[in-house]
């Protein structure tokens, strides 16, 4: 089904390979500008994690406190994680509006929605301002039903938005309106989010890295953080995490007792003593004691076709919109400027106890699900050659939203749980974390309820978490595939797939 293509961590995503190749041409010295850490160093703010969240946060610190010494630690290379592997959908959260209302109330939900909407434009403006060729295309995003069972899944969000005068943020589409954007024999009605965009995700990530280096941020790639303030990776359940206001700033950021971070790299062991710390670990957070029970890790895989611009014209998909079906195990797909389709999703596999291993990067079977999705949605493209496949971990929280907080009594600030939807939201996340780290309690971003939310509900401990996640997700994927064939999945499969909803989590089909 993949035509011999096998996803592997070693080859990296097509996005990142392209971005690194362009970077090497533009500036051959840039790759080596972030050497591994060896020995002890100090910082006003240390950032752990060189994905979008960590890099937006570091960037914001340089804006809020231009003289601050900022050190960023990344185990791989910046953008080597999901920030350089994702689908490149830059969405706002208007489709999450009912959940936001439930969690934060109407006024706060609207404020958060506006902040996420602005973040989409901020990505585009940042790329333009810094000459980053990130293909920012604000052509909106279409969610289309691909089976009767998927019809109207967007209605609760559409109706809640309409009730608050925001009906233009998510607009229902008739089958004809869907066809006018893209012709699939299985698409029915849908909903269109005009405020969404797409990007070349890895070019954006590497562009952020370049700008950070230009601003004097010290970046250490190939540098794995193994201990933070006495807590070690993998010591799950040792301490609890609690969202609270950051300690007041005294002298250096955060307080008198520095945060001590220990690292390891090919260059040797290292240590950073910092006034405050930002943890931007995404799925890797599941291995740290503060967050382990609050996250389920899950893989998402993408495949990329050869360039087929004429075939895209045949199916009328030339407007650059992002497209997704309306499964819970959704397929998300977008085009590239040279006329390829990149499609992801359709299932995936659960991680065990915070370990981010090869199940997230090397599963041909999970990549094949994405390819199967392409062939179901566009049977006319069956003969199209798949040129690449890759995967990565996503960090699922109980309500499908990230949360931001600080370790009780310590200037250590964190944000994770984007649940596979962090490209745009990480701009806001980075701002929250930066404001916290430098003690700017008056920063408008800290007025958002998102900055002060309670942590989401905990998942059961292992091995129940892994077994439950796997059972329910497999049941959901099987149920949705059966429903797509117009058959009845039966009561048992339907009820198992609903289990997480029944247990009070905002996850899984209903």
Ligand X SMILES: Cc1cc2nc3c(=O)[nH]c(=O)nc-3n(C[C@H](O)[C@H](O)[C@H](O)COP(=O)(O)OP(=O)(O)OC[C@H]3O[C@@H](n4cnc5c(N)ncnc54)[C@H](O)[C@@H]3O)c2cc1C
* 423 part of the interface to ligand X, by CB under 6 A: yes
Minimal distance, residue 13 CB to ligand X, in Å: 8
Helix (H/G/I), strand (E/B), else coil: 363: coil
Cα–Cα distances in angstroms (integers) from residue 399 to residues 57, 119, 279, 505, in the given order: 23, 21, 21, 6
Number of residues that bind ligand X (CB under 6 A): 40
- Of 291 and 466, CB closest to ligand X: 291
* 394 part of the interface to ligand X, by CB under 6 A: yes
- Report the alpha-carbon distance of residue 99 to residue 303 in Å, rounded: 30
Piece of 50-58, 98-106, 405-413, 481-489 that binds ligand X (CB under 6 A): 50-58
- Report the alpha-carbon distance of residue 134 to residue 290 in Å, rounded: 34
- Of 280 and 475, CB closest to ligand X: 280
Among 20, 68, 72, 89, binds ligand X (CB under 6 A): 89
Of 290, 296, 288, 280, whose CA–CA distance to 360 is shortest? 296
Of 419, 434, 426, whose CA–CA distance to 505 is shortest? 419
Helix (H/G/I), strand (E/B), else coil: 107: helix
- Report the alpha-carbon distance of residue 47 to residue 33 in Å, rounded: 17
Q: Parallel, antiparallel, or unpaired: how do β-strands 259-265 and 268-279 relate?
A: antiparallel
Contact 166, 96 (CB under 8 A): no
Among 7, 51, 153, 247, binds ligand X (CB under 6 A): 51
- Of 114 and 162, CB closest to ligand X: 114
Token code pair at residue 188: 């029915």
DSSP 55-103: HHHHHHHHHH-TT--EEEE-SS-TT-SGGGTS--EE--SGGGHHHHHHH
Q: What is the largest CA-CA distance in the chain?
A: 66
Q: Residues 307-346: x/- map of binding to ligand X (CB under 6 A)? A: -------------------------x-----------x--
Contact 411, 254 (CB under 8 A): yes
Among 9, 46, 100, 281, binds ligand X (CB under 6 A): 281
- Report the alpha-carbon distance of residue 410 to residue 255 in Å, rounded: 8
* 197 part of the interface to ligand X, by CB under 6 A: no
Q: Residues 284-303: x/- map of binding to ligand X (CB under 6 A)? A: x---------------x-x-
Minimal distance, residue 303 CB to ligand X, in Å: 10
Cis peptide before 463 (omega within 30 of 0): yes
- Of 15 and 459, CB closest to ligand X: 15
* 88 part of the interface to ligand X, by CB under 6 A: yes
- Of 300 and 406, CB closest to ligand X: 300
Piece of 30-38, 52-60, 448-456, 469-477 that binds ligand X (CB under 6 A): 52-60
Minimal distance, residue 439 CB to ligand X, in Å: 22
Token code pair at residue 343: 């499609």
Token code pair at residue 440: 């700017």
Among 422, 439, 508, 509, binds ligand X (CB under 6 A): 422
- Report the alpha-carbon distance of residue 28 to residue 22 in Å, rounded: 10
Piece of 63-71, 241-249, 418-426, 483-491 that binds ligand X (CB under 6 A): 418-426
* 141 part of the interface to ligand X, by CB under 6 A: no
DSSP 452-466: GPPPPPPPPPTTHHH
* 76 part of the interface to ligand X, by CB under 6 A: yes
Among 7, 36, 81, 468, binds ligand X (CB under 6 A): 81
Among 60, 85, 103, 506, binds ligand X (CB under 6 A): 85
* 87 part of the interface to ligand X, by CB under 6 A: yes
Minimal distance, residue 264 CB to ligand X, in Å: 9
Where are the strands (E) in 266-373, listed by range?
Answer: 268-279, 296-305, 322-325, 331-335, 341-345
State the first-to-last Cα distance of the chain, in angstroms, to the nearest integer: 31
* 509 part of the interface to ligand X, by CB under 6 A: no
Among 143, 421, 481, 497, binds ligand X (CB under 6 A): 421
The alpha carbons of the chain give a radius of gyration, in whole angstroms, of 22
Piece of 123-131, 184-192, 238-246, 389-397 that binds ligand X (CB under 6 A): 389-397
Piece of 2-10, 107-115, 279-287, 477-485 that binds ligand X (CB under 6 A): 279-287
Minimal distance, residue 132 CB to ligand X, in Å: 16
Piece of 85-93, 128-136, 142-150, 448-456 that binds ligand X (CB under 6 A): 85-93
- Report the alpha-carbon distance of residue 505 to residue 294 in Å, rounded: 11
Positions in the binding site for ligand X (CB under 6 A): 48-54, 73-76, 80-83, 85-89, 91, 224-225, 280-282, 284, 300, 302, 332, 344, 391-392, 394, 418, 420-423, 426
């Amino acid at each position: 089904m993949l035509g011999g293509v096998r996803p592997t961590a070693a080859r990296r995503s097509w996005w990142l390979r392209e971005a690194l190749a362009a970077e090497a041409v533009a500036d051959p010295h840039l790759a080596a500008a972030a050497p591994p850490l060896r020995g002890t160093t100090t910082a006003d703010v240390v950032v752990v994690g060189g994905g979008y969240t960590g890099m937006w946060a570091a960037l914001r610190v340089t804006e809020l406190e231009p003289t601050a010494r900022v050190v960023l630690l990344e185990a791989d290379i910046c953008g080597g994680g999901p920030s350089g592997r994702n689908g490149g959908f830059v969405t706002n959260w208007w489709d999450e509006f009912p959940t936001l209302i439930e969690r934060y109330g109407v006024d706060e939900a609207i404020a958060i929605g506006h902040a996420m909407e602005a973040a989409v434009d901020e990505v585009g403006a940042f790329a333009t301002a810094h000459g980053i060729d990130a293909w920012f295309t604000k052509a909106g995003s279409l969610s289309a039903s691909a089976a009767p069972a998927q019809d109207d899944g967007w209605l609760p969000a559409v109706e809640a938005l309409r009730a608050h005068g925001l009906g233009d943020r998510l607009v229902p589409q008739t089958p004809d309106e869907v066809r006018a954007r893209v012709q699939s024999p299985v698409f029915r009605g849908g909903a269109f989010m005009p405020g969404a965009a797409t990007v070349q995700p890895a070019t954006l990530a590497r562009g952020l890295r370049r700008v950070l280096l230009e601003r004097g941020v010290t970046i250490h790639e190939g540098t794995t953080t193994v201990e933070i303030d006495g807590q070690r990776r993998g010591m799950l359940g040792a301490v609890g995490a609690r969202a609270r206001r950051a300690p007041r700033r005294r002298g250096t950021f955060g307080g008198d007792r520095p945060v001590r971070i220990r690292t390891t790299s090919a260059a040797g062991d290292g240590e950073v003593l910092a006034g405050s710390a930002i943890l931007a670990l995404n799925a890797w957070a599941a291995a740290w004691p503060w967050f382990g029970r609050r996250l389920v890790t899950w893989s998402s895989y993408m495949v990329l076709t050869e360039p087929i611009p004429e075939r895209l014209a045949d199916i009328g998909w030339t407007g650059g919109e992002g497209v997704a079906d309306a499964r819970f195990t959704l397929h998300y797909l977008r085009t590239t400027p040279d006329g390829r389709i990149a499609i992801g999703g359709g299932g995936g596999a659960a991680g065990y106890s915070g370990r981010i291993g090869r199940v997230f990067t090397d599963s041909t079977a999970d990549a094949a699900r994405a390819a199967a999705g392409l062939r179901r949605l566009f049977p006319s493209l069956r003969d199209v050659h798949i040129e690449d496949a890759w995967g990565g971990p996503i960090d699922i929280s109980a309500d499908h939203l990230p949360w931001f907080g600080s370790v009780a009594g310590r200037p250590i600030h964190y944000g994770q749980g984007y649940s596979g939807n962090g490209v745009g939201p990480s701009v806001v996340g980075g701002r929250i974390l930066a404001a916290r780290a430098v003690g700017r309690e008056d920063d408008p971003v800290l007025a958002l309820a998102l900055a002060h939310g309670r942590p989401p509900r905990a998942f059961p401990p292992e091995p129940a978490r892994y077994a439950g996640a796997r059972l329910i997700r497999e049941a959901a994927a099987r149920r949705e595939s059966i429903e797509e064939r117009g058959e009845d999945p039966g009561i048992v499969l339907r009820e198992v797939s609903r289990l997480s909803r029944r247990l009070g989590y905002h996850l899984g089909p209903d």
